[in-house]
Structure 1
Amino acid sequence: MNRVLVTGAAGRIGCAVLEALGRDRVTALVLPGTPVQADRVVEGSVCDVATVRAAMGEVDGVIHLAARPAPHRGTPYEVFGENTLGTFTVLEEAGRAGVRNAVVASSLAANGLPFATAPLSPAYVPLDDRVPSQAEDPYALSKLTDEQTAAMMSRRHGMAVVALRFPFVGGFTERLREHADKVAADPSLGAASLWSYLETRDAARAAVLALRVPGGSHTFHVAAPRTLAPYPTLDLLRRFHPTTEIRAALPGRTTPLDLAPAQHLLGFTAEHEL
């Protein structure tokens, strides 16, 4: 591609995406005063049409990562309102600018489990994007809405739009090891995310690969193929999600997410495991 726009480029995944892209021919859209290394930087909000329109210059691919990343990162109105308006604005302006490929950061939280006030269980595993959502928080709802916005924008503008449902993401030295140690001591801490995770570099690589999808709208789970919990997955599911239907063999520490669509269409398999 001639130029890729990365929103939220100073965030955890955003920095890794810039590294994966090589920082050349990359436009980074960040909040004012945010340090970032890219050959073109635009400061402002992804909710502001003029800012986003200015950032689309010479762009033919978009990786949209900017968002409030949890329901407690603002008021409910800010979390839902800014996340959904930002995604709508970025994709609408991308379509108007003739961008052919866009990637949107969704979340495993779209199913409603990670931030629920009381423990929930999915209807079945391996978890795919067709499992009914039990969203009850503004972040989960914002990500479901983002996925619907992505599908609409694909139809509206003829873009290929991929929504990636990221699980817990971090680097080995940054946060994954600490989280894994906590889950090993108390596996209930990983139950809402089905003990899934993705190393930051793999998250970035999945986003870059998703720019190559030739057409249509797609939603994929991306995660490491094995859980971060040092226990058999079936034992964990029977203990913490006893009502969940198990529809496939899950030997050893197999992550109970459907990773096959990302493998088949993106050619993505995580390379960095704990």
Structure 2
Amino acid sequence: MSDSPTAPSSSSVPPPADRAGALPRRVAVTGAHGKLGRAVVTHLRAIGLDVLAIDRDPAGDPRDVPGEFVVADLTDYGQVVEAFGGGVDEHDAVDAVVHLAAIPAPGMTTNAATFANNSAATYNVFAAARALGITTLVWASSETVLGLPFDTPPPYAPVDEEYAPRPESTYSLNKALEEELARHFCRWQPALVAVGLRFSNVMDVEDYAQFPSFDADPQLRRWNLWGYIDARDGAQAVEKALAHDVPGADVFVIANADTVMSRSSASLMAEVYPDVPLTKELGEHETLLGIDKARRVLGYEPRHSWRDHVG
């Protein structure tokens, strides 16, 4: 990775059709009661996968994740091994893991508590997968590693995976460390496919009613370059990542194809970040969280937009 504002050529990357493998049979999804977790569990079950939903909160509405469910605290390594390895009565072992569980944002609790929870949970998930011989691992990284809230402007836009992580919060620092952790687990376990998805701000359909109010002040959502991810498209990205069969660790920005704004992307950048170079001519509402790599390598293509739900 480099800090160069010029995006590298993608000519050496094989097209998605040459890189996609078969989906795993049985998948554990951690953080199953979260906004993204609910969408992922629903989607993976809808396409025929056998899903073990896991969350430490037993009080979630069972209608959110109908079907097989286990309560587990991921900061306890023994519970993670049992949950993944078939050590819980009436639940079989899994052959892939989707790790979404975390304190999901900065400022929700103290910094030390955020780091202690998220780092321990992710280490335990990675280590348990290694101990059990699981070689397909997808986890939620975050758009925050790109430098959010962009008080320091990004080196260029659309932002992408080609510059080094720039964590600006304890939550983001942990996400950047998770990406490094994945690289070393892949070094130790050469057959491991570890895919980190740098999800943007997750939205459900009912969240879209607020979007028109953002137009009054472009500063309101500049913190993530006016990006978002529809939970259904986030779930689609997880499916694509589970089919990725190239060993090693890789990361992908996952956002929707458009911004949360009615104004053009070019005009937003000109007003708020006039000194940030653009690396391409932008479509009218084109995302500034670059998803070209996810499209090219994973075959990810957003199918939803808030514009389909707000008149």
TM bracket (short chain): over 0.9
Partner of 2:276: 244
- Asked if 1:44 is matched to 2:69, the reply is no
Query: Separation in 2 of the partners of 1:269 and 1:182?
Result: 27
Compute the displacement of 1:190 (Å): 1.4
Partner of 2:209: 177
TM-score, length-normalised on structure 1? 0.92
- Given that 2:230 and 2:305 are in contact with CA atoms closer than 8 Å, whether structure 1 keeps it comes out as yes
- Given that 1:170 and 1:200 are in contact with CA atoms closer than 8 Å, whether structure 2 keeps it comes out as yes
- Given that 1:122 and 1:131 are in contact with CA atoms closer than 8 Å, whether structure 2 keeps it comes out as no
Identity of aligned residues (%): 31
Query: Separation in 2 of the partners of 1:32 and 1:166?
Result: 22
> Which string of whole-angstrom CA distances, capped at 9 and with x for unpartnered residues, describes residues 32-72 of structure 1?
42334354322121111011001112211110000011111
1:36-75 equivalences under 5 Å are 36=62, 37-57=65-85, 58-75=93-110
Compute the displacement of 1:182 (Å): 2.9
Partner of 1:77: 112
- Asked if 1:235 is matched to 2:267, the reply is yes
Partner of 2:227: 196
- Given that 2:27 and 2:96 are in contact with CA atoms closer than 8 Å, whether structure 1 keeps it comes out as yes
Residue correspondences, number: 269
Specify which of 232, 235, 242 is matched with residue 211 of structure 1: 242
Unpaired segments of 5 or more residues in structure 2?
Answer: 1-23, 86-92, 307-311
Q: State the Cα RMSD in Å.
A: 1.7
Specify which of 262, 269, 273 is matched with residue 301 of structure 2: 269
- Given that 1:9 and 1:29 are in contact with CA atoms closer than 8 Å, whether structure 2 keeps it comes out as yes
Partner of 1:96: 131
Unpaired segments of 5 or more residues in structure 1?
Answer: none
Q: One-letter code of the match for 2:217?
A: D
Instruction: For residue 243 of structure 2, give the secondary structure of its aligned residue in structure 1.
Output: coil
Specify which of 43, 49, 53 is matched with residue 28 of structure 1: 53
Query: Separation in 2 of the partners of 1:66 and 1:34?
Result: 15
Instruction: For residue 116 of structure 2, give the secondary structure of its aligned residue in structure 1.
Output: helix
Larger Rg: 2
Query: Separation in 2 of the partners of 1:147 and 1:183?
Result: 32
Query: Separation in 1 of the partners of 2:94 and 2:66?
Result: 14
